[in-house]
Amino acid sequence: MDTDTLALPRTHYLNAEFGLASWLLTTDHKRIGLLFLGSISMFFVLGGIFAGMIRLELLTPPGDLVSDDTYNKLFTMHGIVMIFMFLIPSIPSVMGNFFVPIMIGARDLAFPRLNLLSWYIFMIGGCFTLYAIVTGGVDTGWTFYTPFSTMASTSNVMAAAVGIFIMGFSSILTGLNFIVTIHTMRAPGMTWFRMPLFLWAMYATSLINVLGTPVLAITIVSVALERAFHLGIFDPAYGGDPLLFQHLFWFYSHPAVYIMILPSMGIVSELIAAFSRKNIFGYTFVAFSSLAIAVFGFLVWGHHMFVAGMSVYGAMIFSVLSFLVAVPSAVKVFNWTATLYKGSVSYQTPMLYALGFIGLFTIGGLTGLFLASLGIDVHVTDTYFVVAHFHYIMVGGALMGYLGGLHYWWPKMTGRMYPDLWGRVAAVVTFLGFNLTFFPQFILGYLGMPRRYHAYPPEFQALNVLSTAGASVMGIGYLMPAIYLFWSLKYGPIAGPNPWGAKGLEWTTPSPPPTFNFDETPVVTEPAYAYDTVEKKLA
């Protein structure tokens, strides 16, 4: 930068401007990423509190801590907050916003003002949902199934529905921004097949956001209208069909699972390459498997409705199609494993999260195959088996990837290192706590304990106590990063541009990056994970 200020601290995106307005009116994708980080962290804490109360209630068989009504609201709001306000925005809006432009060597996203708008839209939608929660909560389950949500429920369905509708536009705009940015703003030499796999994952995620979210938006509007004006679209009394709601809802909400897991898969690809110092085995396959998951993900929604009354033949078609998604998912897992083979693996904090991801995602994915099989699904529908399955995907998978990415890129985002020992302890504690919480639920489900009840027969208590104990351990595992990451902001050692010795454009620019990301537009001359060339040069 300026030669006469060499003695002074470097100017970067964090200290380029000060004051509240410089944050609330920023169009810098990095600052917007941090705005999202702050917002979704608050929502994560909120969702976590609901989860804690659910687990506390389930500590003992009778429904003694909260009433049945309150319990219904607890699991509904846990679902709404964690899915729509934390998991779906999490990686795209924090790390995607921050790193998509940097990783392709651009100065910003294609539409910076639209990007800021998407944060405001998210916050406005969040306010509606918070309003619904503060004024008594919602009791429909996060799925808003009709006719309960349109006719019977007396809770704040309207406010929550409007909130989710509004937040949907935030993910549409973010997705649109990423697709356009990746298409038009890559640096010279950054060809599609030199892009880091995180970007392929973000691209595939954005595809789902852009094509799936609008269907949820119109569906949730229909629910609100149906509640207000009795349109009859989902009401049998008018010749409408409640199952149509489920079709439209799951058309988005099944692919939404891939909105949560694909970005994590992208991060894991980065971490596996960086910490085993190898090119990702079968780069092209991993890249295309992201797109395949995005496409196949739209063909399988019916497996959420096997017992809802859809046609048997329809159910069979959806059951068979569901197995399709397993193929690209398995491609990823096998290729990561092959990358690890003969790599010089180092077990630093981000890598522990990545390894945790692979293990937990594999269990979650395989149990998903159980549920995709028509015969088994009928047996375990609406039991804790399902609960355990999707928590293995969404918490064991998506959240582990999120934390891994946060630890990997934290030095880049803040310029500071956190204590790696504490990081590793937190990763292990999270992993153990997670398994202690959710593995017993597989057994509970298989024994027949139904989900969404606040009381249960005494013979299930032992496993439920284990689960609640695990949840406490997991809570500690999440609390630790919150503490040492904050600590590192002030006391952490200076990170330097590339603390991991990793490849990728984001590591070629100073930490934290300057306002326009690079002092000079980078020119890319090698593939994404050219670790072999580093080793050769060293040797």
Partner 1 sequence: MNQQAHAASHVIVPRSMYFTIFAALIVLTGLTTFVAFFDLGLANPIVALSIAVLKASLVVLFFMHMKYSSRLTWIIGGAAVFWLGILLVLILSDYAMRGWGG
Partner 2 sequence: MPKHESSSALVPDENAAPASDPALRHHFDDLAQQHEAATLGMWLFLATEVMFFGGLFSAYMIYRVWYPGTWGDASRTLDITLGTVNTIVLITSSLTMALAVHAAATNERRKVMSFLVVTMVLGVAFLGIKSFEYYQKFAEHHVPGLDFRFEGQAPERANLFFSLYFAMTGLHALHMIIGLGILSVILYMAWRGRFTEAWHTPVEISGLYWHFVDIIWIFLFPLLYLVDRHR
Shortest separation between residue 482's beta carbon and partner 2, angstroms: 33
Residues in contact with partner 1, shown as a per-residue x/- string from 237 to 276 under the rule CB under 8 A: ------xx--xx--x-------------------------
- Phi and psi dihedrals of 131, rounded to 5? -60, -45
Rounded distance between C-alpha atoms, residue 42 and residue 44, angstroms: 5
Q: In this structure, what token pair is assigned to residue 526?
A: 């090698």
Assess 241 for contact with partner 2 (CB under 8 A). Answer: yes
DSSP conformational letter for 301 = G
Assess 18 for contact with partner 1 (CB under 8 A). Answer: no
Residues numbered 190 to 229 that lie near partner 2 (CB under 8 A) are: 210-215, 217-219, 222, 225, 229
Shortest separation between residue 246's beta carbon and partner 2, angstroms: 13
Rounded distance between C-alpha atoms, residue 164 and residue 81, angstroms: 10
- The closest alpha carbon to 118, from 163, 166, 176, 174, belongs to 174
Residue 314 near which of partner 1, partner 2, none (CB within 5-8 Å, type-dependent): partner 1
Find all residues with CB under 8 Å of 171, minimum gap 6, and list them: 88, 89, 92, 93, 118, 209, 213, 259
Residue 299 near which of partner 2, partner 1, none (CB within 5-8 Å, type-dependent): partner 1
- Interacting stretch for partner 1, rule CB under 8 A, among 32-40, 52-60, 122-130, 306-314? 306-314
Assess 217 for contact with partner 1 (CB under 8 A). Answer: no
Assess 299 for contact with partner 2 (CB under 8 A). Answer: no
Find all residues with CB under 8 Å of 414, minimum gap 6, and list them: 14, 488, 489, 492, 495, 511, 512
Residues numbered 21 to 40 that lie near partner 1 (CB under 8 A) are: none
DSSP conformational letter for 133 = H
Q: Cis (ω within 30 of 0) for the bond into 512?
A: yes
Gap between the terminal Cα atoms of the chain: 34
Assess 413 for contact with partner 2 (CB under 8 A). Answer: no
CB of 275 closer than 8 Å to CB of 500: yes
CB of 319 closer than 8 Å to CB of 303: yes
Q: Exactly one of 31, 55, 78, 186 binds partner 2 (CB under 8 A); which one?
A: 186
Q: How many residues sit in the footprint of partner 1 (CB under 8 A)?
A: 20
Rounded distance between C-alpha atoms, residue 157 and residue 287, angstroms: 40
Rounded distance between C-alpha atoms, residue 323 and residue 453, angstroms: 30
Residues in contact with partner 1, shown as a per-residue x/- string from 197 to 216 under the rule CB under 8 A: ----------x---x---x-
Residue 311 near which of partner 1, partner 2, none (CB within 5-8 Å, type-dependent): partner 1
Give the nearer residue to partner 1 in terms of CB position, either 14 or 320.
320
Residues in contact with partner 1, shown as a per-residue x/- string from 136 to 175 under the rule CB under 8 A: ----------------------------------------
Give the nearer residue to partner 1 in terms of CB position, either 9 or 239.
239
Residues numbered 111 to 140 that lie near partner 2 (CB under 8 A) are: 111-112, 114
CA distances from residue 64 to 61, 234, 437, 486, 497 in whole angstroms, order as listed? 8, 36, 21, 38, 54
Assess 313 for contact with partner 1 (CB under 8 A). Answer: yes
Assess 56 for contact with partner 1 (CB under 8 A). Answer: no
Rounded distance between C-alpha atoms, residue 398 and residue 261, angstroms: 5
Give the nearer residue to partner 1 in terms of CB position, either 82 or 305.
305
Distance of CA 486 to the CA centre of its chain: 22
Rounded distance between C-alpha atoms, residue 79 and residue 86, angstroms: 10
Residue 106 near which of partner 2, partner 1, none (CB within 5-8 Å, type-dependent): partner 2
Give the nearer residue to partner 2 in terms of CB position, either 110 or 262.
110
Shortest separation between residue 144's beta carbon and partner 2, angstroms: 14
Shortest separation between residue 56's beta carbon and partner 2, angstroms: 39
Assess 10 for contact with partner 2 (CB under 8 A). Answer: no
CB of 72 closer than 8 Å to CB of 138: no
Rounded distance between C-alpha atoms, residue 527 and residue 503, angstroms: 10
Instruction: Give the number of other Cβ atoms within 10 Å of residue 520's Cβ.
Output: 6
Assess 314 for contact with partner 1 (CB under 8 A). Answer: yes
Instruction: Give the number of other Cβ atoms within 10 Å of residue 537's Cβ.
Output: 7
Assess 176 for contact with partner 1 (CB under 8 A). Answer: no
Assess 17 for contact with partner 2 (CB under 8 A). Answer: no
Assess 106 for contact with partner 2 (CB under 8 A). Answer: yes
Shortest separation between residue 238's beta carbon and partner 2, angstroms: 5
- The closest alpha carbon to 409, from 94, 22, 25, belongs to 94
Helices H / strands E in the chain, number of each: 18, 0
Assess 317 for contact with partner 1 (CB under 8 A). Answer: yes
Give the nearer residue to partner 1 in terms of CB position, either 188 or 457.
188
Assess 480 for contact with partner 1 (CB under 8 A). Answer: no
Please report, as ranges, the residues that interact with partner 2 according to CB under 8 A. Answer: 106-112, 114, 172, 176-177, 179-181, 183-188, 210-215, 217-219, 222, 225, 229-233, 237-241, 244, 247-248, 516, 518-521
Please report, as ranges, the residues that interact with partner 1 according to CB under 8 A. Answer: 183, 207, 211, 215, 243-244, 247-248, 251, 298-299, 301-302, 310-314, 317-318
